Chains A and B, each alone.
Chain A
Amino acid sequence: MAEQPKSVWSSISFWRRSAAWVTGFAVVLLIWLTFDTIGQITMGTDADLQNGVTKRVPAPTVINYNIKYEMNEKRGHEAPVIGEKESFFGKEWSVDEAAALLHLGKLTSQAKNCMNCHTLLGNGAYYAPDLTKAWLDPAWNNDGPMMGMTGKSTREEAMAEFLMHPSKYPTHARMMPDLGITAEEAKGLVAFLKHMSSIDTNGFPRNFGKEQGGTYAK
């Protein structure tokens, strides 16, 4: 019998070992990445805020601070910058109060199904504007249209007033319906949105506040 040419490519054990290596490596890598991500998304503490430690997700007490959105040349996109202290609904919120308010806001956002129309941190719909950085939207600036329309003097009060009576204020072609949000729930929602805006999302959504059309339903 003639000697059969031996090819590695037709050897079952070669393919078995290759598959085992790639699968095994992918498993280890995915487990590693899972734990690597935990450090990235763990919420900071009030002490971090006081000491100026930058966390991707700051503590709920970030609502007591001024938040700016500034272009970071090194990273090539805008990032939230936590500045000086400022009052939120006329007071400074303690650690427990801020956490409770944020919790109420989160529950309200779920109960009223904001994501049915809006996008929060990449989850939801684009029927209505992206709310990931809503707190930093220039429309709520002192000289912005929302402040004049609602007749309030602070950003948080204007947002709360809009949330309580959205159908009263013509904003977009697709107007927000009245969802029966109470004053307390509106406060919670504004805190929830302010905290969300302080989260470093690597510049998502891109060109926020500069682009009209698309996500800004016109």
Chain B
Amino acid sequence: MIEPFTDVVPSFFGLLNQGPLTLTIFLHTIIILPMFWIYFSEKKKLNK
């Protein structure tokens, strides 16, 4: 799954870009996961 780094100039996003899916999965993870937290915290607030 982890392949050797191929970009000319090293960068954080180049490191993530191992294939067509890795960057997408990473970005979705850090955008979507906090939204679950927002959802449950709002639910808790409403139930109170």
Q: List A residues at the B interface (Cβ < 8 Å).
A: 6, 8, 11, 13-14, 17-18, 21-22, 25, 29, 33, 36, 39-40, 54-56, 74-75, 200
Contacts A8-B46, A54-B8, A56-B9 given; does A18 touch B30 at CB 8 Å: no
Would you give the shortest CB distance from B22 to chain A, in whole angstroms?
A: 16
Interface contact tally, CB-CB below 8 A: 44
**Residues of B within 8 A of A (CB-CB), count:** 19
- Cβ 8 A contact of A18, one of B12, B35, B45: B35
Would you give the shortest CB distance from B44 to chain A, in whole angstroms?
A: 10
Q: List B residues at the A interface (Cβ < 8 Å).
A: 4, 6, 8-9, 11-13, 27, 30-31, 34-35, 38-39, 42-43, 45-47
Would you give the shortest CB distance from A100 to chain B, in whole angstroms?
A: 27
Would you give the shortest CB distance from A94 to chain B, in whole angstroms?
A: 26
Interface of chain B, main secondary structure: helix
Interface of chain A, main secondary structure: helix
Residue of A nearest to B6 (CB): A75
Residue of A nearest to B41 (CB): A17
Residue of B nearest to A41 (CB): B9
Bound form: Cα–Cα A41–B47 in Å? 52
